[in-house]
Amino acid sequence: MKKLAVYCGSATPADPRYIELARDVGRTLAQRGIGLVYGGGRLGLMGALASAALDAGGEVIGVIPEALVGGEVANTDCTELRIVANMHERKAAFTHLSDGFLTIPGGVGTMDELWEAVSWSQLGYHAKPVGLLNAFGFYDHLIAFNRHMIEVGFVRPAHQGIIIAECELDLLLARMAAHEPHTPIFEMDPTKL
């Protein structure tokens, strides 16, 4: 994995562990020579992630929609800052520029990005690993909900392992690096769907 798209919040929670987690992720990626592709902002977890990666000598590519340049205070310190027309172009750029997706804590926008990466993997728009860092148990309920969708039958057996979830960053990155693509819906026999 040469570049990872990292999805996270632009908010700063009261609990300082979240900002420190973002810094640790940015620093770790830079130390491993993995470029960071992220939302292009300077605020919250996004800003902490990018700053730590840059401070550690890493490559940081920010992708931010025009409408958010002022509101999210675009990070002009990035190695490269791409300003795109809208959120659809932003997510397409994340997919195009990265070798995988890593989600750390965040809110609604982070969930949108995660689920699109999962959905696109399931369909076959990409065959890249989709990692979920469940730090501090933040994603326990989401993981349980994903398991519920599997148990009910809304997630096919071939796609049950798309989300690679771990509590420890090193283990998650190792599992993502060992990722084996599944059979996407686009390649399945339509009579067996």
29 has a pLDDT exceeding 70: yes
Q: How far is CA 171 from each of CA 4, 11, 26, 31, 128, rounded to the nearest angstrom?
A: 15, 26, 16, 16, 17
pLDDT band at 118 (very low <50, low <70, confident <90, very high): very high
**Would you say 50 and 36 are in contact if contact means Cβ atoms under 8 Å apart?**
yes
Residue 164 is predicted with a pLDDT of 98
Summarised one tens digit per residue, pLDDT across range 43-76 is: 999 999 999 999 999 999 999 999 988 766 899 9
Residue 38 is predicted with a pLDDT of 98
Question: pTM here?
Answer: 0.95
Summarised one tens digit per residue, pLDDT across range 5-18 is: 999 999 999 999 99
pLDDT band at 89 (very low <50, low <70, confident <90, very high): very high
Which CATH number is associated with domain 3-180? Answer: 3.40.50.450
